[in-house]
Chains A and B, each alone.
Chain A
Amino acid sequence: MYAQDLDVFFTGLDAASCTANGFGFRGLLDTPDESLNQFGVNVLSTMYVLTCKSSDVASAGIASGAAITVGAAAYVVRDVMLVDDGAITHLTLSK
């Protein structure tokens, strides 16, 4: 066994400062565009996903509908999804 040190993922330049419910933490924001097909017409959506530590999510009390700032931008949390062993969480966001 080895001790997990998740902080190494969130100390790089790519990591953004985040705040939710007054709790500060760091996360990695991805903003890929995705094409959806609806009634034969393509609709484009930016799928905002913030990767962060699940312990930070718990400390901040983040749930669906929570307001969150990433960098200087404001978002609303859509889904809170554990990844793999649950130590990391993906937050899908609306801008």
Chain B
Amino acid sequence: MPSSIREQILARFAAVAMTLPGFGSGNVFRARETAITRAVSPAIAVLYGGGSTVQRRAVGIDEHRITVNAAIFVRGDPWDQLADAIDVPLHAALMADAPLAALAQLFREPDQVEAQEADRTSGVLTIPYTAVFLTRAGDITIAP
């Protein structure tokens, strides 16, 4: 069974992140239950933030708005400067990616930050993206 447009968007986010220099399957994650160690940092986690609205746009066509969080985990000081060096190329790659653009329109939302003391400062810069896309009302795997 084909995956939903939502899942295709999330998978494409991760695939784009893996194209950045220094990133790959070892430090780009979707859902992750085991802890991120310093050895795999910096790391990017693509996290589904949930849907916000679904609206009927035409007969049999729905417009969806979902949030995809790109969380950038870094270790060191100043941690936000380290995260910025990843945020810039990641954002550029996401916005320039043709397959992702074919799936959804992306809107960058205000970012969130969190840092804690660790053996090296552990910081995470999370950029929420609103993804807007259309599906058939009766089949969320197909864009009209």
Query: Residues of A at under 8 Å CB distance from B?
Result: 34-36, 38-48, 78-79, 92-95
**Residues A45 and B124 in contact in the complex (CB < 8 Å), given A39-B71, A39-B112:** no
| B67 close to chain A: CB less than 8 A | no
Docked Cα-Cα span, A40 to B35, in Å, equals 11
**Residues A47 and B118 in contact in the complex (CB < 8 Å), given A39-B124, A40-B47, A42-B36:** yes
Docked Cα-Cα span, A47 to B34, in Å, equals 18
Tell me, rounded to whole Å, the shortest Cβ–Cβ distance linking A20 to chain B: 18
| B69 close to chain A: CB less than 8 A | yes
The answer to whether A43 touches B118 (Cβ under 8 A) is yes
Query: Residues of B at under 8 Å CB distance from A?
Result: 32-38, 45, 47, 69, 71, 73, 112, 114, 116-120, 122, 124, 126
The answer to whether B124 touches A94 (Cβ under 8 A) is no
Docked Cα-Cα span, A35 to B32, in Å, equals 14
The answer to whether A42 touches B34 (Cβ under 8 A) is yes
The answer to whether B47 touches A43 (Cβ under 8 A) is no
Chain A residues lying within 8 Å of B35, measured Cβ to Cβ, are: 35, 42-44
Docked Cα-Cα span, A39 to B122, in Å, equals 12
Docked Cα-Cα span, A58 to B34, in Å, equals 41
Docked Cα-Cα span, A36 to B36, in Å, equals 9
Tell me, rounded to whole Å, the shortest Cβ–Cβ distance linking A76 to chain B: 9
The answer to whether A38 touches B122 (Cβ under 8 A) is yes
Tell me, rounded to whole Å, the shortest Cβ–Cβ distance linking A6 to chain B: 26
Tell me, rounded to whole Å, the shortest Cβ–Cβ distance linking B98 to chain A: 29
The answer to whether A39 touches B118 (Cβ under 8 A) is no
Chain A residues lying within 8 Å of B34, measured Cβ to Cβ, are: 42
Docked Cα-Cα span, A47 to B118, in Å, equals 6
Docked Cα-Cα span, A72 to B86, in Å, equals 34
Q: Please name the residue on chain B nearest to A75 by beta carbon.
A: B119
Chain A residues lying within 8 Å of B38, measured Cβ to Cβ, are: 44-46
Tell me, rounded to whole Å, the shortest Cβ–Cβ distance linking A58 to chain B: 24
Partner of B118, one of A40, A41, A42, A45: A45
